[in-house]
A and B are shown apart, each in its own frame.
Chain A
Amino acid sequence: MVSTSLLNVTEVSKSYAANRVLTNVSLALSSGEILALLGENGAGKSTLIKILTGAVRPDAGTVMVEGKPILHGNTALARHLGVAVVYQELSLCNHLTVEDNIMLGREQHRYGILDRQSQRKIAVEALAKLGQPESWLDRRVSSLSIGQKQLVEIARAIAQNAKILILDEPTSSLSQQDVSQLFDVVRRLQAQGLGVIYISHFLEEVRSLCSSYLVLRDGTVAGSGQLQDTPPRELLKLMAGRDIEQLYPARKPRQGECRLEIRALSGRPWPDNISLTINRGEILGLAGLVGSGRTELLRTIYGLDPQRTGEVVIDQHPRKNSQNPAERIRAGVAMISEDRKQEGLAQSMSIKDNMTLSNMSPFSLFGWLNEAKRDQCCHALKEKFSIKAFSCDAPVWTLSGGNQQKVALARAVHQKGTIWLLDEPTRGIDVGTKAELYRWMAELAEKGDSLLFVSSYFQELLATCDRIAVISQGKLVDVRPTEQWTEHELMQYAMQGRV
């Protein structure tokens, strides 16, 4: 009997101290299959991947690659057997060339002297399998776009004879163009007999690419099967464990006076001469591709990046060009950073510290902290945002992505923000939390706050915003009420000026 089964995971369980992360999870992957691994944050996906790569030892169960077991604590063996992971955070050496990066870790050499010729041969072969040109090889990785970098990383996995490719949320920071290129590559690899495990929060994407699915919920397999047989609503239900009535809340537009006005704002190098207004009770969407200057615009408004010319007017008062976020915070501006890990939260500090960092004054008497009061306040915020954590003293890195985002939001609420700069707030967040987030944004707008919502996922902009502005190469392309936009048009405008 010829078995095409590549990967067999049987009854794997894992717990960390009190925390059961995985319970009896089984999974099978055959060659040429693209399996979607779905689940909310904290469902156990990352732990499962770590077990597949041999980085984490399961408490029970086995992992077999083509009938050979993976020994745990031995990532080299798993790699040798053909398991390769491309993580969301890329692990490339920016200063080296594409070729060097592809060959990193398995340099061809004779007595320690590099054998450039055979190196190049292997690298060219790997790129060819991806359908990418050879001309790339001598470019420095730092000169590539994020999408291209991802392809380099996949090429590295291929060059190392990967049979099972695990892609961990590969599209969350890609532009649509890069996404379709990535899909082409993945399909090409599928045709060559690779097994692919694909992790993503975008269901549309999963449906267009993958053949089968496995949904994890609270560490157990909530369901698996063929994607064609399963309606999207059913998938959502499996992931959340309950019926998600409506991903996007219904809202009535409510317009008040102008809260935030940007007059001809320019920075270095972006934004480039942008003027915008946001009114009370309004959600203004900011559509643009990654690298279009959206983040820079928010950072300039918030005083994190230098402001070259122009003016920021908050509540009819022109504000000083002082590059001082503290001043903006006092004026009621709150920003949720797109980079949750590095900038949004201080990962090694506790939930409590992160929630209160920007506004300590309610607990401080001449600089001395009233810890009891701080505990109380944080506990209330934790309940309000239903943050899943053991206690408010737990460091933030122990939380899942969605819960981390909630901590960042809780901080903004605590600092009494009324003008919100949300930079990709839904990135890397599970569906259940996303629905919560949209509902909560609608509530804020209802209350009279003003929101500036940046996203590269245009559907969510169309569903939640009152008006949408499109930005490309640091310039404002157009602003219109949401009804007057289509997704296609948004894409077209966002790409405009690119090619």
Chain B
Amino acid sequence: MLRSLITPLVLSAIYLLLSLLVYGGYCLDLGWETRSSSLAGWLVGLVILFVSVVVLKKHIHAPRPTLIRWVSIKQADQIVSILGPMLVLGLVVSLFAMADAYRDFQGNFWSLPSFRLIMLQTSVVSVAALGMTLIIVSGGIDLSSGTALALSGVVLGLGLEADLPFVVAALLCIICGTLCGAINGTLISLMKLPPFIITLGSMTIFLGIAKMIATDGGTVKPPAGSIPNWIADMVTLFPDPAWIAYPLLPNMAWGIWFVFGLAILAAATLNRTVFGRHIFAIGSSESTARLCGIPIARTKIVIYTLAGFLVGIGGVFQFARLSQGDATAGVGLELRIIAAVVIGGASLSGGRGSIIGTLCGAAIMSVIKQGCTALDLGNQLEDILLGTIIIAAVAVDQWRVRSQSASPN
């Protein structure tokens, strides 16, 4: 009984740590001169996290596990796999923060507004990346998610132009994304063609359709006043602290909490449902899944449709950020989405990946972006850093897989 509480306990400890950080940032907002001490606190927390991961890892592989009375192997394994990506994220944040501290915090990287911006930039990518995680775990890939997201945004804009209420237009936007996913899934499972090829094609098709229906040179500007305030609040940089159970939760735009909610749903789907096990099975070995009577075609269609649904929600986020529909806003976005999943530790050959990893992957990309801007390093360096991290993530992953498979069988 007590044992089963350990994983949630550790997770809430992490949560407390994170919120302390954000609260610290909030204090900075008020102009308190505590930046260096809060940074020091953060670094201490990170070191504690690092040490606990190392200890747990040692514990899992120790000849005679000594912690066994406190943590079961399975829990230790779970915690390590959850903490691992977080640790990398913490490391990236610390590097930028220390660079910021070196410059007497002139870059304002170590501040709440900066973290809010990071969270917001993360949100669009991570909504779509949740769906992409399902797809990649099942051994597929979706190159069309970026342009499908932009297409959904354009549909939303057109809906507003046609004087539809915002909720209806947003619904249309989500339906559009879902349809795009359903089309991909159906083509992939019925034509039995590689997802890479199918979605490469549909990526271009969606871009073309978006350009065709966007009347105003590729963009759709909704009439003034058609975007309600609550939508602007969804992604605002200056949230009103009173709207949610503040100060129980850090004050961030409600869209960010919404993404967290979706992430919990996605993680539960992946790990705690029959459907989730089927996704892993198809990604791990499709022929085994077939042998076990898993309806592969149907499962794949559902996976891509779900991912499309999330892309549609991503379209609403994007629209809220840009206040307009832009047919070309999604070009290259799919690669950022895929990168988030891959940095998060998923394997492109399927069978491995996690939601928490994906969220951290998306956050790492935003941190690099914001860090480079805050420290005035320019976006050339940002691109180079990002590329390096992607390669490093895959290299570390491969190295881990290899060191594992060298063990006996």
Which of A21, A346, A358 is close to B293, meaning CB atoms less than 8 Å apart? Answer: A358
Query: A46 interface residue, CB < 8 Å from B?
Result: yes
Contact of B281 among A16, A18, A349 (CB under 8 A): A349
> Which residue of A is nearest B352, CB measured?
A348
B77: which of A302, A343, A393 is its contact (CB, 8 Å)? Answer: A393
Q: Separation in Å of the B64 CB from the closest CB of chain A?
A: 7
B30 at the interface (CB under 8 A from A): no
Q: Which of B62, B77, B273, B291 contacts A17 (CB 8 A)?
A: B62
**B351 and A360 contacting across the interface, CB-CB below 8 Å:** no
Contacting B at CB under 8 A, from A332-347, are: 335, 337, 339, 342-347
At the interface, yes or no: B69 with Cβ under 8 Å from chain A?
A: no
B61 at the interface (CB under 8 A from A): yes
Answer whether A19 and B280 are a contact pair too, CB < 8 Å, given A337-B291, A367-B273.
no
Candidate in B77, B280, B289, B292 with the most chain A CB atoms within 10 angstroms: B292
**Interface hit among B118-126, B218-226, B376-384, B401-409:** B401-409
Determine which of A21, A55, A339, A368 lies in contact with B408 in the assembled complex, contact meaning CB atoms within 8 Å: A21
Kindly state whether residue B261 has any CB partner on chain A within 8 Å: no
Query: Which B residues touch A89, using CB under 8 A?
Result: none
A368–B273 CB distance below 8 A: yes
Report B342 CB to chain A, min CB distance, Å.
17
Interface assignment of B35: CB less than 8 Å from any CB of chain A: no
Nearest residue (CB) in B for A15 is B63
- Known contacts: A360-B274, A369-B277. The answer to whether A346 contacts B285 by CB under 8 A is yes
A260 within 8 A of B: no
Q: Which listed residue, A329, A347, A358, touches B285 by the CB 8 Å rule?
A: A347
Cα–Cα, bound, A356→B280 (Å): 13
B294 in contact (CB, < 8 A): yes
- Please give me the 6 A-B residue pairs with the lowest Cβ-Cβ distance, nearest first: A326-B293, A358-B292, A346-B284, A17-B61, A343-B287, A346-B285
- Partner of A391 from the list B61, B73, B281, B406 (CB cut-off 8 Å) is B73
Which residues, 129 to 179 on A, are CB-close (under 8 Å) to B? none
Closest to B288 in A: A346
Hey, what's the 0/1 contact readout for B266-294 against A, CB within 8 Å counting as 1?
00000011110100110011011111111
Q: Convert B282-318 into 0s and 1s, putting 1 for each residue whose CB lies closer than 8 angstroms to a CB of A.
A: 0011011111111100000000000000000000000
Within 8 A of B (CB), among A267-299: none
Q: Is A444 part of the contact surface with B, judged by Cβ < 8 Å?
A: no
Closest to A22 in B: B408
A369 and B285 alpha carbons, distance in the complex (Å): 21
Q: Which of A357, A368, A411 contacts B294 (CB 8 A)?
A: A357
Rounded to whole Å, the gap between the CB of B403 and the closest CB of chain A is 10
Residue A104 at the B interface, CB < 8 A?
Answer: no
Stretch at the interface among A204-212, A248-256, A395-403: A395-403
Residue of A nearest to B60 (CB): A17
> Does A313 count as interface, using CB distance less than 8 angstroms?
no
Q: How large is the interface on A (under 10, 10 to 19, 20 to 34, 35 or more residues)?
A: 35 or more
Contacts of B281 in A (CB 8 A): 346, 349, 353, 357
Determine the chain B residues whose CB is within 8 A of the CB of A342 once the complex forms. 285, 287-288
A-B contacts, 30 of them at CB < 8 A, read A16-B408, A17-B61, A19-B408, A21-B408, A46-B409, A325-B293, A326-B293, A329-B292, A337-B291, A339-B287, A342-B287, A344-B291, A346-B284, A346-B351, A348-B352, A349-B280, A349-B281, A353-B277, A356-B277, A357-B289, A358-B291, A358-B292, A358-B293, A368-B272, A368-B273, A369-B274, A371-B272, A391-B74, A398-B407, A399-B409
A residues 12-47 in Cβ contact with B at 8 Å = 15-19, 21, 42, 44, 46-47
A16-B407, A16-B408 are contacts. A335–B291 as well, Cβ < 8 Å?
Answer: yes
Contact check, A411 vs B292: say whether CB atoms are below 8 A apart.
yes
19 extra interchain contacts, Cβ-Cβ under 8 A, other than A50-B406, A346-B288, A391-B73?
A: A18-B65, A46-B408, A47-B408, A56-B406, A326-B293, A329-B292, A335-B291, A339-B287, A346-B280, A348-B285, A348-B352, A349-B281, A354-B288, A357-B281, A357-B288, A357-B294, A393-B74, A398-B409, A399-B409
- In the complex, the answer to whether A304 meets B290 with C-beta atoms within 8 Å is yes
Number of cross-chain contacts by CB at 8 Å: 112
> Chain A residues with Cβ under 8 A from B77's Cβ?
393
User: Interface digits, B235-272 against A, CB 8 Å rule (1 contact, 0 not)?
Assistant: 00000000000000000000000000000000000001
When distances are taken between beta carbons in the complex, the residues of chain A under 8 Å from B295 are 326
Give which listed residue, B272, B284, B288, B408, contacts A344 with CB less than 8 A.
Answer: B288
Residue of A nearest to B4 (CB): A372
A residues within 8 A CB of B352? 348
**Complexed CA–CA distance, A353 and B74 (Å):** 14
In whole angstroms, what is the CA distance A397 to B405 when docked?
8
Which of A325, A354, A360 has a CB less than 8 Å from the CB of B290? A325
Distance A477 CA – B65 CA, assembled complex (angstroms): 58
Beta-carbon contact of B285 and A345 below 8 Å: yes
- Min Cβ gap A13→B in Å is 13
CB distance from B347 to the nearest CB of A (A): 8
CB B85 to nearest CB in A, in angstroms, measures 19
What residue in chain A is nearest B58 (Cβ atoms)?
A: A17
Q: Report the minimal beta-carbon distance from B91 to chain A, rounded to whole angstroms.
A: 26
Query: Which residues of chain B have C-beta atoms less than 8 A from A17's C-beta?
Result: 61-63, 407
Given contacts A18-B63, A342-B287, A357-B292, contact A348 B273 (CB under 8 A): no
Check A390 for interface membership: any CB of B closer than 8 A.
Answer: yes
B74, B77, B274, B351: which has the most chain A beta carbons within 10 Å? B274
Q: Is A406 an interface residue (CB 8 A)?
A: no
CA A352 to CA B313, docked complex, whole Å = 35
Contacts of B288 in A (CB 8 A): 342-346, 354, 357
How far, in whole Å, are A302 and B73 apart by their CA atoms in the complex? 38
Q: B277: which A residues are within 8 A, CB to CB?
A: 353, 356-357, 360, 369
> Within the complex, what minimum Cβ distance (angstroms) separates A92 from chain B?
21
Residue in contact with B351 in the complex, picked from A348, A357, A411, CB distance below 8 Å: A348
At the interface, yes or no: A496 with Cβ under 8 Å from chain B? no
Q: What residues on B are CB-neighbors of A201 within 8 Å?
A: none
- In the assembled complex, which residues on chain A have CB atoms less than 8 Å from the CB atom of B273? 364, 367-369
The residue in chain B whose Cβ has the minimal distance to the Cβ of A395 is B404
CB closest residue in chain B, given A337: B291
